[in-house]
Chains A and B, each alone.
Chain A
Amino acid sequence: MKPKPTSRLPRRVALKWMVVASATISMLDWRSFGAPAATAKGYGLDANLLETYIPGDLWPLTLTEAQRRTATALCDIIIPADSKSPAASQLHVVDFIDEWISAPYPEQQAHREIILKGLEWMEAESAKRFKFFFAELSGQEQYAICDDICFEPKAAPEFRTAANFFSLFRNLTTGGFYTTPAGWKDIGYVGNVALQKFDGPPPEVLKHVGLI
């Protein structure tokens, strides 16, 4: 998580520029929140169900490079690599989140506003506390911010909105992660395979739940 030393100074300069620029860009962005992109349509009532779809196939994606950087860092804090499975970004979870917030459906459009505002808040908070992009903070610094917003019921009043964002972002990260083959393996989903017969739970399961 530690940024490379050589990137520090230029990044600081860049950050200053970004804070100014993002304020301007976000003013423009706000106008489009809550409304789908003009040309975006849903997949309709007779989509080809046999097709393989990837984010961006059906409607244009939203996130800028800067937003993707923040989202990627946050995804990997929520789901880092461990001995059982890779980190969220390695499974392209950010692409899924981008597809989700770009979808022309009411629920996703509502989420779009929460996510985009939330990503902006993350950067503003990083700049305020540590003078760096969120993705460039040390793990400890990133946790300091996330710990304040990771559970809405216990969040301080000034962090409630950010905690609401974090909750949604975490939900979407799990959605993007555990629907993949690596996610199935991590969680122990071993179905979707043709069987000759269904044997019911094996003895070790019955024992585990106290039925034998």
Chain B
Amino acid sequence: MPFIPSTKTQTNYDVIVVGSGAAGGQTAYVLAAAGVKVLMLEAGRRYDPVSETPMFSTNHHAPLRGSPTPDKPFGFFDATVGGGWRVPGEPYVTKRPGSDAWVEASATDVGARQNFMWWRPRMLGGRTNHWGRFSFRMGQYDFKPRSRDGLGIDWPFDYKDLAPYYDKVERLIGVFGSNEGLENTPDSSSGVLLPPPKPRAYELLAKKGCAKLGIPVIPSHVAILSQQQDHQNIPKILHPDSPAMQTALAKNMQTRLACMWATHCVRGCPIKANYQSTTVHIPPALATGNLDIITDAMVREVSVDDTGRATGVYYVDKKTREDIHVKARVVVLAASGCESARILLNSKSAHFINGLANSSGKVGRYLMDTVGSGLGGQIPVLENAPVHNEDGAMTMHMYMPWWKYKEQTAGKMDFPRGYHIEFGGGRGMPDARTFFGMERFTGGSYGKKMKEDLRRYYGSFVYFAGRGEMIPNDDCYCEIDTEKKDAWGIPVLRFHWKWSEHEERQAAHMQKTIAEIIESMGGRVTSPPQLDGKKAIYPGGSIIHEVGTTCIGSNPKNSVLNQFCQAWDVKNLFVTDGGPFVSNADKNPTLTIMANAWRATDHIIEEMRKGNI
């Protein structure tokens, strides 16, 4: 089974999976491994990283030397296709700071001028093609936040329930890192992680500086192959009952090469050295013969029968503009938190007048992003460093996990939840903006003097980014806009957003701490730390970690899904993306999305076998 047009669908699909990114890829992969017949629907175009990635291309030959533009907000070579902060013809609605008017979000008004930002590609594999690949496990505290400090919502299961799935996902996708035994920063099982790359000079300097501040600096966990995977053993460990998937996975693993320590992962990876759904999940799933994929299929509604059971989905074929219905025994939404909530809210019927699976009224609620705030520094000891290649894995080899759990428990902090610090800098490939604003350091030099100054300063800058936990609140949610529809006639979302003091205080603390770290490295901040949290914090959605909106729980009255991501109201309907999250720890969500999706999908398979769905 392969990529097919709308006219070639079969009549007997077991499961429809809406979406092809981290959640859709993982869900379809596990289903295909179990012999379940799957139809995957993706709203964007077909995309092949092997033939489309500009791996060693340089800024020299890119428009505007690769600079970000509204068409490519992360730079020309970013893998994102068909979207970004805007998707043409598919608007969303939000407010601007200080205004109560609803406005259509714009591509050029991102940043502080918009309360909420929503990043959407339109391509096979979704955001996994360009993501940062940071793969941190949530810890035991992160699943029980309300039990610990009385705020937010507990998950209906524990870390130990998800731990085996974290192991499975890490084995499958390949994650480098180390086990450090730190509080609420879980270790992986022995033999699961790949060895981390050596730290760069500025990373070692940060470690030395942070030691004085009591801040740990440890190897990062990143979904990049620091060496080739063990294709002989991992497939057997992951799929003891599926010889077909063992073969398919072993074959795909052998085509995945180890990182070449060059060119940025945000472009995608044609040697498949990092995780993206299009190189890791989809090829072996297709090879089992159990997966069909239709691209350019914009799902608008889940269909139900008279008994309230899901029967399939309606989608718009973007190429023909035809409205098409496909059927299956089970429907899984994995379209991304907000997009899946949108589909549910747009699936109104006599049975479900407020949208599907929404008897609790919670669909769209508890939308969260990650708290983000950052600050840069210039480090004099890095000036005039000997020439050397610092590319590495193109992302951080080291990071700072949250280190003040005990102080928070003791009530010594003015915000309740943690953050980690990501950082980068050094001698990266120059882009158009590398030396913008250098006059602050050079005093306005030009000519031969400036050339000497730039040789001196190149490689001496380090940027630190705090990434913190947001607590779900009643002011952050999405709902259907009553007037606006997209180019396919589908009602669009509008976003309500308000940070609470918990996040704003945390952002101010990030600024203060980062300034201290820069100082500990003998450096100076490139701008003063912003100690007003309201100003220090980035707009909602800007970290692109939006989760929540179809919350899981143990009570149908106040949650949308049960602990297996199964809709309380519709037992053959599941949501496996970021939507089920009820807390958004500082740990970047993608790894947890995949682990949770794998666990939910195991449950789907079991329930299908039992004949319950």
User: Given A170-B439, A192-B391, A79 and B450 touching (CB < 8 A)?
Assistant: yes
**Are A47 and B71 within 8 A (Cβ)?**
yes
A51–B431 Cα distance when bound, in Å, is 18
User: Given A187-B430, A198-B261, A52 and B381 touching (CB < 8 A)?
Assistant: no
A74 to chain B, nearest CB (A): 9
A100–B432 Cα distance when bound, in Å, is 10
A44–B53 Cα distance when bound, in Å, is 17
Binding stretch for chain B, among A8-16, A30-38, A174-182: A174-182
The prevalent SS among residues of B at the interface is: loop
B80 to chain A, nearest CB (A): 8
Interface string of B368-408 (1 = CB under 8 A from A): 00000000000001101111111111000000000000000
Flag whether A5 is at the interface (Cβ < 8 A). no
The 4 closest A-B pairs by CB, nearest first: A151-B444, A200-B198, A175-B432, A191-B391
**Are B454 and A187 within 8 A (Cβ)?**
yes
Extra pairs beyond A77-B447, A79-B451 (18, CB < 8 Å): A45-B80, A45-B81, A103-B63, A103-B64, A106-B70, A106-B108, A152-B439, A175-B65, A179-B65, A179-B430, A188-B458, A188-B459, A189-B428, A189-B430, A191-B391, A205-B385, A206-B201, A211-B205
Flag whether A157 is at the interface (Cβ < 8 A). no
Interfacial chain B residues near A193, Cβ < 8 Å = 262, 389
Flag whether A194 is at the interface (Cβ < 8 A). yes
A184–B447 Cα distance when bound, in Å, is 18
Instruction: List 8 A-B residue pairs with CB atoms under 8 Å apart, sorted by A's residue number.
Output: A45-B81, A45-B82, A45-B83, A79-B451, A82-B451, A167-B439, A174-B436, A198-B261
Closest to A197 in B: B261
Flag whether B52 is at the interface (Cβ < 8 A). yes
Q: How many residues of A contact B (CB 8 A)?
A: 70
Q: Which residue of the partner chain, among B70, B84, B390, B447, contacts A80 with CB atoms under 8 Å? A: B447
A108–B60 Cα distance when bound, in Å, is 18
A58–B325 Cα distance when bound, in Å, is 41
**Are A171 and B430 within 8 A (Cβ)?**
no
A188–B45 Cα distance when bound, in Å, is 40
**Are B61 and A191 within 8 A (Cβ)?**
no
Query: B residues engaging A (CB < 8 A)?
Result: 45, 52-54, 56-67, 69-72, 76-77, 80-84, 88, 108, 197-201, 204-205, 208, 259-263, 267, 381-382, 384-393, 427-439, 443-448, 450-451, 454-455, 458-459
A201–B59 Cα distance when bound, in Å, is 25
Closest to B444 in A: A151
Q: Which of B63, B71, B261, B448 has the most CB of A within 10 A?
A: B63
Interfacial chain A residues near B58, Cβ < 8 Å = 179, 181, 192
A96–B76 Cα distance when bound, in Å, is 15
Closest to A181 in B: B60
**Are A45 and B84 within 8 A (Cβ)?**
yes
Closest to A202 in B: B388
User: Given A108-B64, A175-B435, A42 and B427 touching (CB < 8 A)?
Assistant: no
A201–B454 Cα distance when bound, in Å, is 21
Closest to A85 in B: B451
Q: Which residue of the partner chain, among B82, B200, B262, B437, contacts A201 with CB atoms under 8 Å? A: B200
Q: Which residue of the partner chain, among A47, A84, A85, A99, contacts B76 with CB atoms under 8 Å? A: A47
Interfacial chain A residues near B384, Cβ < 8 Å = 208
B191 to chain A, nearest CB (A): 20
**Are B386 and A184 within 8 A (Cβ)?**
no
**Are A103 and B61 within 8 A (Cβ)?**
no
Interfacial chain B residues near A191, Cβ < 8 Å = 262, 389-391, 427-429
**Are A188 and B60 within 8 A (Cβ)?**
no
Closest to B51 in A: A50
A106–B64 Cα distance when bound, in Å, is 13
